[in-house]
Chains A and B, each alone.
Chain A
Amino acid sequence: MEGLYAICVGVLTSCGIYLLLRGRTFPVILGLIMLSYAVNLFLFASGRLNSNMATILGESDTFADPLPQALVLTAIVIGFAMTAFMLVLSIRAYSENGNDHVDGKPADERVHDSSIAADKGGQKE
């Protein structure tokens, strides 16, 4: 079980990091979501992996550590709120910038369109 679990966490983390390095906001958000899944699983495992154990004392002879489960719950709630905020912010950024790139402009335009961008900025002022 440990091996499978570790592979799951590892694959989720690497997918998350790959997506985080993309230029557009939507893949980046997906990357953040995957990374937070991986982290939640990892946190869960910090209480050791057991099966068939109650988290309440006295219910069974052996018991699982309830604290990591509480931590994961908190982390899930916070991660959910942050993802929602990030989505709203990137929609706002899309309407402000006219594109969905994290840097505010597409990578291939950044070099040869800088003069045009400067012109646009000048006109606005």
Chain B
Amino acid sequence: MINHLPILPILIPALTGALLLLPPLQRSMRHQRLLSLAATLLTLFAALALYNSSGEATTHYLLGNWEQPFGIVLVADRLSTLLVLLTAVLSFGVVLYANAGTDEAGSFFHPLFQYQLMGIYGAFLTGDMFNLFVFFEILLLASYGLLAHSGGKARIRASVQYVTLNLIGSALFLVALGLLYGTLGTLNMADMADRVAMMRDDQLVLLEAALLILVVVFGLKTALVPLQFWLVRSYAAATAPVAALFAIMTKIGIYGFYRVHIGTFGHQPELNSGPMQTLFWIMAAVTMVVAIIGVLGSKNLRTLTANLVLISVATLMFTVALGSEAAVSAGLYYLIHSTLVTAALFLLADIIAHKRGPAADNFVPARPMSQRTLISLTFMAVAITVVGMPPMSGFIGKTLILVSAQSGSQQLAAWSFILIGSLASLIGLSRAGTSLLWHTTGSKAPAETTSALPIAALMLFVLSAPVMVVLAGPLTDALAQTAGQLLTSATEVALQ
């Protein structure tokens, strides 16, 4: 009996997306919402089961039953199933929020959403470099549609730039794949890791070129300086659920670094030491500086959140630069935390913008909000989590990263940049909180209140922070094993 679990997170969204486009469902918004919600919930259960099964053994799912390394393979190891589970949780909250009415602003929200999920799950699960490219394209094509969703001048303009940049990124990805195949003769990640050891020196140069091109490709997805220009404009322009879903998109680039640069080629010291490592450090540091300037200069909550995404990306990039088992494990904790909390902040920004009428989420005095206590307390909780103050999950995540820096020079670079980034987040969010919640004009708040569905979606993300703190012990143990598996798998994975 073959275990078909690994294919489910790809199959369910693919079938749902197709079903949603068929006439009986396409007409009725209510049916679309129900089906989309049911499919997301189903995928969540599949992801949970998959994550549980990965604890015992890594499943290799051979598509078409072609033997490895000749056929395409899905690899459900600890890292991929963890990120699939994270995406499933995120998508559940996002679809709840979208069902409250944002999905009506344009057509085809739910099909695009499902296809985007299919691409993300596929990118995490695949064990084949070319398939990674294909799933990248699937998720990008869906994200182009989602970004432009519900139209408008700003969104379309952001889309043109986002699409152009990503098409160039795809072309570069193919160049890197050509180089990898030309030198290694395989695109199966585990097989690549095996063959690197047998490379001659003149081939290693080509391989290093391929890995450097991949830095550009993943750097573009992650939005590292100097490839970050698209991020703030597109994230600030996108509708709230889309921006919240995009919280996982930058993390896919980080996953690429973990999987390819650290997992597959990390055990080859000639490739990963030297210029590549220096490049990672510089990119992380400069991204942090640019993000800090962005955070301090933001004029509304959505732009601020987009810049906070940059800060989290820079922080994660330090773990890539450190590259040790402890750093990756800490990075994964921070990755989960920052994905969920960024989603919370994007949803909160949207709720606040709706409540403040024409002033939206700009940092200007406006009428007071309804449900002010609830919104204020939620904002405070989210802000503390983002900044990384105890008792929330950001504190644990950042501390783990800081502790994982071993030598003096590593500590100097990582500690100073990450801590100054946290200070900037603190200043930015304090300014946002005071101007949005305290500086009010007029005396009466409008009577209309936000309905239960968006609040529930928001709370799902907000409450993830205390849950991550309570479960910090078992979670960090599991993540340490995940990081350990990633760093040793490259050398150990035997081709069945």
Contacts and interface: CB of A to CB of B under 8 A. Distances in A.
A32 B153 contact: no
A67 B72 CA distance: 12
Contacts of B144: 85, 89
A74 B134 contact: yes
Interface of A: 20, 25, 28, 32, 35-36, 39-40, 42-43, 45-48, 67-68, 71, 74-75, 78-79, 81-82, 85-86, 89-90, 92-93, 96-97, 102-104, 125
Given A48-B182, A89-B144, A93-B157, 12 more contacts: A32-B164, A43-B174, A43-B178, A45-B182, A67-B187, A71-B177, A85-B163, A89-B160, A90-B160, A96-B153, A102-B161, A103-B161
Contacts of A39: 171, 174-175, 178
Size category of the B interface is 20 to 34
A85 B181 contact: no
Contact of A25 (B152, B160, B174): B160
A97 B141 contact: no
Given A39-B171, A82-B170, A68 B181 contact: yes
5 contacts: A32-B164, A42-B175, A67-B181, A82-B137, A96-B157
A13 to B, nearest CB: 9
B141 A85 contact: yes
B159 A42 contact: no
Contacts of B152: 96
Contacts of B159: 89, 93
Contacts of B177: 43, 46, 71
Contacts of A97: 153, 156-157
Contacts, number: 90
B141 A81 contact: yes
B130 A74 contact: yes
Interface of B: 130, 134, 137, 141, 144, 148, 151-153, 156-157, 159-161, 163-164, 167-168, 170-171, 174-175, 177-179, 181-182, 187, 358
A86 B170 CA distance: 14
Contacts of B160: 25, 89-90, 93, 102, 104
A28 B181 CA distance: 29
Given A28-B164, A32-B164, A35-B171, A45 B156 contact: no
A89 B148 contact: yes
Contacts of B157: 93, 96-97, 103-104
Contacts of B130: 71, 74
Contacts of A71: 130, 177, 181
Contact of A89 (B156, B168, B171, B175): B156
A109 to B, nearest CB: 15
B156 A93 contact: yes
B137 A78 contact: yes
A78 B139 CA distance: 12
Of the candidates B134, B153, B161, B179, the one having the most CB atoms from chain A within 10 angstroms of its own CB is B153
A8 to B, nearest CB: 15
Contacts of A93: 156-157, 159-160
Given A85-B141, A89-B144, A36 B178 contact: no
Contacts of A40: 174
A32 B163 CA distance: 11
Contact of A45 (B137, B164, B178): B178
A20 B165 CA distance: 10
A46 B185 CA distance: 9
Nearest to A32: B167
Contacts of B141: 81-82, 85
Contacts of A46: 177-179, 181-182
B178 A42 contact: yes
A114 to B, nearest CB: 15
A46 B184 CA distance: 10
